[in-house]
């Protein structure tokens, strides 16, 4: 079994490590991690069960696969500290914006690389894990990494040039969905439902609608049509959303992300 070393143990790394362990994909004993704030690292080690490494160099020396889970701007410094110990390792990166090409520029041919873009629902096993199609892992490593990350949600493969739009939809998407949930909960509260009941009702409606679409494979318009009876109430709400420009607003939100 491969030893997996986390460079950084913040929110995303904890979600990944916990997902691996909880689903039994990787035993906690095969996980190591390094992060600069020692006390926080030790606390997480007690919670998740990984072995805390003394330094980045020690982490790299003891690991077969390194998972880059520090902030994107910390990556160069981290690899400078690791130095030659990275030689021959498989490097899996979850850092936003970093592509296979960026790692090749930084590390040359010393390592084998896979870039992945996760999103926050990965924390509850319902994430979207975008795998950059261009990688340099061996086939066996790729299959193994893919299987590990399936613990966190749905793995999808995208060509490099689509990783940015993929990240805009799945990475920024949770914030957009949250805004919609909040807005409908406000409407429920306006008409007398308690705040906590409102959030539960709205989030379950969103979850259920998503599941219904996934399990039936039906076009969203078909599902919407099924709820809209002639001269009924739902179609009035749909017309109000169209009037307010919901579709254009959704597309605009992605244009705003992509033009940054
Ligand atoms: N959170 C998300 O929703 C999300 C989604 C997609 C992608 N990502 C990517 O996941 C990565 C981590 O994000 P996050 O939200 O988990 O950030 P975070 O909670 O701030 O965690 C960053 C981690 O990096 C550690 N770190 C700082 N400097 C380091 C160094 N020189 N060497 C090794 N570790 C170092 C920090 O340690 P200390 O705490 O000890 O300082 C901390 O454990 C980012 O690259 C981000 O782009 C995150």
All domains in the chain, ordered by first residue: 4-158 (3.40.50.720), 166-258 (1.10.3730.10)
CA quadruple 145, 148, 150, 153: dihedral positive or negative? negative
Residue nearest to atom 30 of ligand 1 (CA): 78
Flag the least confident range among 28-32, 123-127, 204-208, 234-238.
Answer: 123-127
Residues 128-175 have pLDDT tens digits of 999 999 999 999 999 999 999 999 999 999 999 999 999 999 999 999
How sure is the predictor about 1, in pLDDT bands with cuts at 50, 70 and 90? Answer: low
Q: Which residues of 218-248 are buried (b: 16+ CB within 10 A; e: fewer)?
A: eeeeeeeeeeeeeeeeeeeebeeeeeeeeee
Residue nearest to atom 1 of ligand 1 (CA): 12
pLDDT surpasses 70 at 5:
yes
Percentage of residues in the chain with pLDDT exceeding 70? 100
Q: What is the mean pLDDT of residues 69-92?
A: 97
Residue nearest to atom 31 of ligand 1 (CA): 78
How sure is the predictor about 109, in pLDDT bands with cuts at 50, 70 and 90? Answer: confident
Cα angle for residues 111, 162, 75 (degrees, 5° grid): 35
Q: Tell me how far the alpha carbon of residue 78 lies from the centroid of ligand 1, in angstroms.
A: 12
3-state secondary structure of 126: coil
Q: Tell me how far the alpha carbon of residue 127 lies from the centroid of ligand 1, in angstroms.
A: 17
Predicted local confidence at residue 110, as pLDDT: 83
pLDDT surpasses 70 at 71:
yes
Q: Tell me how far the alpha carbon of residue 9 lies from the centroid of ligand 1, in angstroms.
A: 7
Across all residues in the chain, what is the average pLDDT? 97
Helix axes 195-216, 163-190, angle to 10 degrees: 140
Q: Tell me how far the alpha carbon of residue 118 lies from the centroid of ligand 1, in angstroms.
A: 13
Whether the Cβ atoms of residue 6 and residue 30 lie closer than 8 Å to each other? no
Pocket of ligand 1 (CB under 6 A): 7-13, 34-37, 40, 56, 69-72, 74, 77-78, 94-96, 118-120, 171
Whether the Cβ atoms of residue 34 and residue 63 lie closer than 8 Å to each other? no
Q: Which atom of ligand 1 is nearest to the CA of 11?
A: 16
Q: Tell me how far the alpha carbon of residue 35 lies from the centroid of ligand 1, in angstroms.
A: 9
Q: Which atom of ligand 1 is nearest to the CA of 77?
A: 31
Q: Tell me how far the alpha carbon of residue 170 lies from the centroid of ligand 1, in angstroms.
A: 19
Q: Tell me how far the alpha carbon of residue 214 lies from the centroid of ligand 1, in angstroms.
A: 32
Q: Tell me how far the alpha carbon of residue 63 lies from the centroid of ligand 1, in angstroms.
A: 19
Q: Which atom of ligand 1 is nearest to the CA of 119?
A: 5
Q: How many CA atoms lie within 13 A of 133 on its CB side?
A: 8
Residue nearest to atom 42 of ligand 1 (CA): 10
Q: What is the mean pLDDT of residues 171-182?
A: 97
Residue nearest to atom 17 of ligand 1 (CA): 10
């Amino acid at each position: 079994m491969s030893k997996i070393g986390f460079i950084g143990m913040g929110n995303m790394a904890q979600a990944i490590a916990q997902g691996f362990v909880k689903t039994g994909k990787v035993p906690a004993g095969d996980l190591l991690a390094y992060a600069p704030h020692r006390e926080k690292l030790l606390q997480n080690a007690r919670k998740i069960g990984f072995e805390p490494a003394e330094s980045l160099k020690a982490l790299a020396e003891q690991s077969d696969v390194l998972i880059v889970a520090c902030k994107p701007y910390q990556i160069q410094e981290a690899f400078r500290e690791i130095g030659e110990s990275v030689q021959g390792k498989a490097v899996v990166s979850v850092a936003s914006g970093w592509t296979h090409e960026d790692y090749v520029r930084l590390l040359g041919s010393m390592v084998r690389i896979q870039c992945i873009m996760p999103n926050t629902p990965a924390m509850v096993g319902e994430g979207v894990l975008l795998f950059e199609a261009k990688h340099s892992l061996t086939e066996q490593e790729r299959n193994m990494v893919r299987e590990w990350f399936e613990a966190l949600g749905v793995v999808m493969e995208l060509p490099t040039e689509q990783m940015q739009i993929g990240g805009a939809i799945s990475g920024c998407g949770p914030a957009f969905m949250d805004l919609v949930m909040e807005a409908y909960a406000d409407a429920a509260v306006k008409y007398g439902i308690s705040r906590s009941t409102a959030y539960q009702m709205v989030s379950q409606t969103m979850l259920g609608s998503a599941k219904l679409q996934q399990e039936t494979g039906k076009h969203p318009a078909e599902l919407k049509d099924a709820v809209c009876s002639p001269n009924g109430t739902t179609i009035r709400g749909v017309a109000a959303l169209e009037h307010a420009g919901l579709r254009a607003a959704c597309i605009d939100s992605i244009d705003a992300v992509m033009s940054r």
